[in-house]
Amino acid sequence: MKYHTSVGTKIDVRLLLAVAAAVIFGASAYAAIGAGLASYSPGPLALMRMLFASVILVLYAVPGRLRLPEARVLPVALLAGLFAFALYNVALNYGQITASAGAASLIIASIPIFTALLAAAFLGERLDGRGWAGIVVGFLGVALITFGEGGGFGVDAGALYVLLAAISGSVYFAFQKPYVEKYGSLTFTAYAIWAGTILLLPFLPGLLREVQVAPPDATLAVAYLGVFPTVVAYATAAYVFSRLPASRAVTLEYLFPPVAIVIAYLWLDEIPSVLSVIGGAVALVGVALVNSRRS
């Protein structure tokens, strides 16, 4: 009996550590982007982030842990890389030039709302009354965030870029399911990261210029961004989702914005506006409604 108790405790601790790593590393991405933008422009920053992530995944794949993509999956991988990493990261980086890290995390947290809407529009998934209510409430929350970042008198352009990033990410999540089921979540995500890196290569000349004059702390922030929020956070989140029922694991989505706001305050001394926080709370209610109809 003691043996079983210790094993159970060990498993629970491992799961708890995975949850903490997924949330903390994932939520820290927004503050790391803010730190990187002090010395890097949005496109080169996105490329540098993906280069670090790609190198880590190549090192992981070399011993044969990941199978190479088949020729027929390459177009899909390129499409996934475009929406999940290339367009997503460039838009998010442009958005955080003016939008706070906390507000960006709140808008990105609305991805399940856009994913559900796209799935209903193009994949034939049906939405019940609760799902539609969640979409309406979520859109209201996102609108409040965009006005909140604009000082309450207008729409902030940065928030609109972040909204574009959220829509781009939702396109990926709407179509990736059959490929994740076939190739595995980590494998298909690696394909998408490598493809996204290739698509971002036009920013290489700018990156080579900027990395020569950027201070070490900004470059370290981008390196951290590529390794921990991009690779480690995803791997630990995949582990959590493999160990918990989807209805429980999906609640992780609600932890990212408050943790991101705290990290942004500690790292950048930055907090979102009150209206943005209210809008974020409204948007998360919409996400909860959308997720509850799925369970």
Name the token pair of 62.
């070399």
Contacts (Cβ under 8 Å, ≥6 apart) of 38 = 218
- pLDDT value at residue 184: 86
- pLDDT value at residue 2: 42
Residue 126's SS3 state is coil
CB atoms within 10 A of CB 255: 17
- pLDDT value at residue 128: 86
DSSP H stretches of helix in the chain: 2-27, 29-36, 42-60, 74-81, 87-95, 101-108, 111-122, 129-149, 157-175, 177-183, 185-199, 204-213, 216-227, 233-243, 246-249, 256-268, 274-294
DSSP 66: S
Altogether, the residues listed in the chain come to a count of: 295
- pLDDT value at residue 232: 94
- pLDDT value at residue 147: 85
Q: How far is residue 236's CA from residue 213's CA, in Å, rounded to a whole number?
A: 34
Give Cα separations from 228 to 130, 224, 234 (angstroms).
35, 6, 9
CB atoms within 10 A of CB 213: 8
Name the token pair of 107.
């808008």
- pLDDT value at residue 203: 98
Residue span of the structural domain in which 216 resides: 2-294
Nearest to 258 by CA among 101, 152, 115: 101
- pLDDT value at residue 123: 80
DSSP 28: T
pTM: 0.90
- pLDDT value at residue 216: 97
Lookup result for tokens 């994913």? 115
Contacts (Cβ under 8 Å, ≥6 apart) of 242 = none
- pLDDT value at residue 31: 97
Region at 45 (left for phi over 0; alpha for psi -120 to 50; beta for the rest): alpha
- pLDDT value at residue 224: 98
Contacts 24+ apart (CB under 8 A), 72-77: 73/179, 73/183, 73/191, 74/195, 76/179, 77/188, 77/191, 77/192, 77/194, 77/195
Using 70 as the pLDDT threshold, list the residues of the chain that sit under it: 1-11, 150-154, 246-247, 250, 293-295
Looking at the 3D structure of the chain, how many domains does it have? 1
